[in-house]
Copies of this chain bind each other. A is one copy, B any other.
């Protein structure tokens, strides 16, 4: 019921505003005895942090995570892990205009409509800066999964569409993702993508994107029926990322176009057990993992902060025209890549712990 928490047995609560002194999270339910240090978090945070290329906001934040509790002599103890990240580059600018005006596409108006008060500095709580805390939690979750399940667990995301331009999936190469500032897995379209985004950036405009996140090595049986579905949890958790307007699993919206024959993922016994001949389902059937790769995609709208003047109103009910100056990502979809990985990792660990609790995690093996 707390709006700033997600997960059930592995439960993450985040706090902090864009221009407050710090932000962070409390991670509750982390299994004990897992080797963990700030280094584990920093690698993930560095991938998300601002200022890394010309394609992301030029705000400079070290995003250094401090672990304040829950780890003792290098291992988790089962008690809550408090992570703190200081804000260091909140520019002391004049917020006079933004303080009284509602930027179109932003949460300015709705926060005010709900609460009658808002921290307008840099978007306050609605800023994507909150996702730093998610990335820290995701790094913990992934470390736990790799420790408890094994190194075969991999959670990876990539940009698969930039504005109207999809990548060429025939050239998909995971190794490319961390070699370019767009987190694209496709080197063939990279130069074109960068030119395209440069044009948008220089025009003070912005563009949407689609991100795909995959989880490999997840055994069959995680998730639960009906309202505890793994895809339901993924949908909620991915939709909670700033600017996300759509989530799909496996073939997603394209599944509407298919016939039952096309959509069926047939099965055969292989030398190492059950084998699926396709993965239209994206690794989830009836809300429970099949053992195949879990595949989800999320659509992100363009950054709402643009230099072009847009019509709006202010808190006095007066019409105003707004140009949003300041440092912004021309495409928020890019930095959403590590955030999507984090949300997938947290969702999976939570599903695993619940499965272990409620079913004992006694995996069925066909034929035994």
Contacts and interface: CB of A to CB of B under 8 A. Distances in A.
A210 interface: yes
Contacts of A164: 257
Nearest to A220: B113
A28 B264 CA distance: 31
Interface residues of A, number: 163
Contacts of A288: 107, 110-111, 113-114
A346 to B, nearest CB: 11
Contacts of A360: 31, 148, 356
Nearest to A113: B220
Given A205-B261, A311-B277, A31 B358 contact: yes
Interface in A120-154: 124-126, 130, 148
B304 A23 contact: no
A73 to B, nearest CB: 8
Given A259-B207, A288-B110, A333-B256, A15 B9 contact: no
Contacts of A117: 32-33, 72, 75-78
A229 B225 contact: no
B301 A228 contact: no
Contact of A208 (B5, B224, B257): B257
Contacts of A115: 32-33, 77-78, 359
B290 A109 contact: yes
22 contacts: A5-B5, A6-B227, A14-B80, A15-B68, A17-B69, A17-B79, A31-B360, A33-B115, A76-B117, A77-B118, A106-B285, A112-B364, A113-B220, A113-B291, A125-B226, A163-B259, A205-B259, A235-B236, A262-B302, A269-B313, A269-B319, A357-B357
Nearest to A78: B115
A209 interface: yes
A299 to B, nearest CB: 4
